[in-house]
Structure 1
């Protein structure tokens, strides 16, 4: 359990959950090729549909294994699966849009959490503070300040790494093969993509992750 930044933002990391990564790669390959992502993700993404029963069974079993850890880490009683997908980073650094070159948040919903399963080893995920506003966790009250500051601060060239472009890295989790990471969807974050990274749209070769969103329920 990590507590990052001034906000002590909770980030959970658990190893050894889910089936062997090679089996997950085979599941992803069964759905390939993935279409281009539509929400500023720098690559391709395949939404896992209910009719993809074998793949859905993997996601559901993974969440069942992770539930005690997630419940304890975030003090929640239960959660619903909102969306799951396989994702591969494929966009070259020089082709990124401005929004893709800066940290982002997925939602301001305080009950929405992101869950990542690193299927293949990679550099992981980093978490950030916006320097101009000192904000790490975005909510309704801070949304306009975060967005306005991002619009007026030039984004660094390439994928963000470390303290750049008006952001301070407050912590990171390494993307070990088979590791599960969970954090509030409103926490500023970005994938750690090293200089010289060459992406692939092949699940057996690329930076394959399972991206999941859950909504928490508390008594």
Structure 2
């Protein structure tokens, strides 16, 4: 494994990037391909399809492998004692830009709590796609926590009303991580971020051809004893 730890923006929020993460990454692809169909994601703004991985799912072994490998780094780099998993899934981006809502086309945050982390393992070989991190110019926010959520929400609502498309109008890109096969990315869910895709992106719903990722969301705890 090759590990990189990057401090993003003025907040110096850590983003961990690990290449050649799993010894059996192709097994995870095979497990995703064995799923009959990924249902459309309706609970969040994710622009595609997701298969939720439960404890009885065969793919839960992949989730355990990811957590075992990433756990020590999470504890040391984020200064936490332990964590709990509250969601795991296989995900595929399948919604073309023309069918996305405005909010799906701009950077977002997952939770307004820095103790929640996103863990994403790229299981595809689709080029020129990945995750970028941003600062919202008008509010000067790079990460969203506490009362900042309502402040950002009011600003974004006003900007949507202006009908200026794309993230470049109101956001400054701080850092990006290209998606590569068997690359793991860990970051705080309160960071403003967005996926990026090339013009020729295929938006395939086939796990063997599309932008397949394994996504795990955890809540961390410090000084828990």
Q: TM-score range by the shorter chain?
A: over 0.9
**Corresponding residue for residue 132 of structure 1:** 138
CA RMSD of aligned residues (A): 1.4
Which sections of structure 1, spanning at least 5 residues, go unmatched?
none
Q: SS where residue 169 of structure 2 aligns?
A: coil
Any conservation in 2 of the 1:93–1:157 contact (CA below 8 Å)?
no
**Structure 2 counterpart of 1:40, from 42, 45, 48:** 45
**Corresponding residue for residue 150 of structure 1:** 156
- Whole-Å separation in 2 of the counterparts to 1:157 and 1:33: 32
Which sections of structure 2, spanning at least 5 residues, go unmatched?
none
**Corresponding residue for residue 110 of structure 1:** 114
1:89-104 to structure 2, matched below 5 A, reads 89-104=93-108
Deviations 1:87-113 (A, max 9, x none): 000111111101101101000122110
The alpha-carbon deviation at position 133 of structure 1 amounts to: 0.4
**Corresponding residue for residue 172 of structure 2:** 168
Any conservation in 1 of the 2:113–2:144 contact (CA below 8 Å)?
no
- Tell me: CA distance 1:106–1:33, structure 2 relative to 1, closer, same or farther (3 Å): same
Residues matched between the structures, number? 214
The alpha-carbon deviation at position 3 of structure 1 amounts to: 0.7
The alpha-carbon deviation at position 132 of structure 1 amounts to: 0.4
**What is the TM-score of this pair, normalised by structure 2?**
0.90
- Whole-Å separation in 2 of the counterparts to 1:84 and 1:180: 14
The alpha-carbon deviation at position 63 of structure 1 amounts to: 0.6
Any conservation in 2 of the 1:45–1:87 contact (CA below 8 Å)?
yes
The alpha-carbon deviation at position 157 of structure 1 amounts to: 4.1
Deviations 1:32-85 (A, max 9, x none): 310000111111111111110x21011011111111111122111211111100
User: Which piece of structure 1 moves more, 147-156 or 21-30?
Assistant: 147-156
**Corresponding residue for residue 5 of structure 1:** 9
**What is the TM-score of this pair, normalised by structure 1?**
0.93
- Whole-Å separation in 2 of the counterparts to 1:44 and 1:218: 33
Which contiguous aligned blocks of 4+ residues in structure 1 show a shift greater than 6 angstroms?
A: none
**Corresponding residue for residue 80 of structure 1:** 84
